[in-house]
Amino acid sequence: MSKPALTSGLLVKHGGMLSLIQDTGRFGAFNIGLTNGGPVDLLAFQWANRLCNNKLNTTAIEISIGGLALIAQVDTSLAVTGANMPLTINGQIKALWRSYQIKAGDVIELGFASQGLRCYLAVANGFSIAPSFGSTATVCREGIGGIRGGKLLAGDVLACARTNLKNNLSLADKFTPKYTGEVTLHTVPSYQQQHFSLHQQRLFFSNEYTVSKSFDRMGYRLEGQAIACDIEGILSEGICHGAVQIPADGQPIVLLNDRQTIGGYPKIGAVSSIDTAKLGQLNQGGKVRFEPISMEQAHNLYHLSLSRFNRTELVICD
Dihedral, 275, 257, 33, 55 alpha carbons, nearest 10 = 100
Question: DSSP character for 132?
Answer: B
Question: Which has the closest alpha carbon to 285: 214, 206, 193?
Answer: 214
What is the sign, positive or negative, of the torsion defined by CA atoms of 85, 90, 95, 97?
negative
User: What is the SS3 string spanning 4-29?
Assistant: CCCCCEEEEEEECCEEEEECCCCCCC
pLDDT tens for 47-99 read 999 999 999 999 999 999 999 999 999 999 999 999 999 999 999 999 999 99
Res. 30 pLDDT band, cuts 50 70 90: confident
Domain assignments of the chain as residue spans, ordered by start: 9-172, 182-309
Res. 4 pLDDT band, cuts 50 70 90: very low
- Side-chain-side CA neighbours of residue 52 (13 Å): 34
Q: 182-309, superfamily in CATH?
A: Cyclophilin-like (2.40.100.10)
CA angle 258, 99, 316 (to 5 degrees): 130
Please, are residues 100 and 77 in contact by the beta-carbon 8 Å criterion? yes
- Residue 275 DSSP SS3: helix
pLDDT tens for 259-305 read 998 887 899 999 999 999 999 999 999 999 999 999 999 999 999 99
Residues comprising the chain, all counted: 318
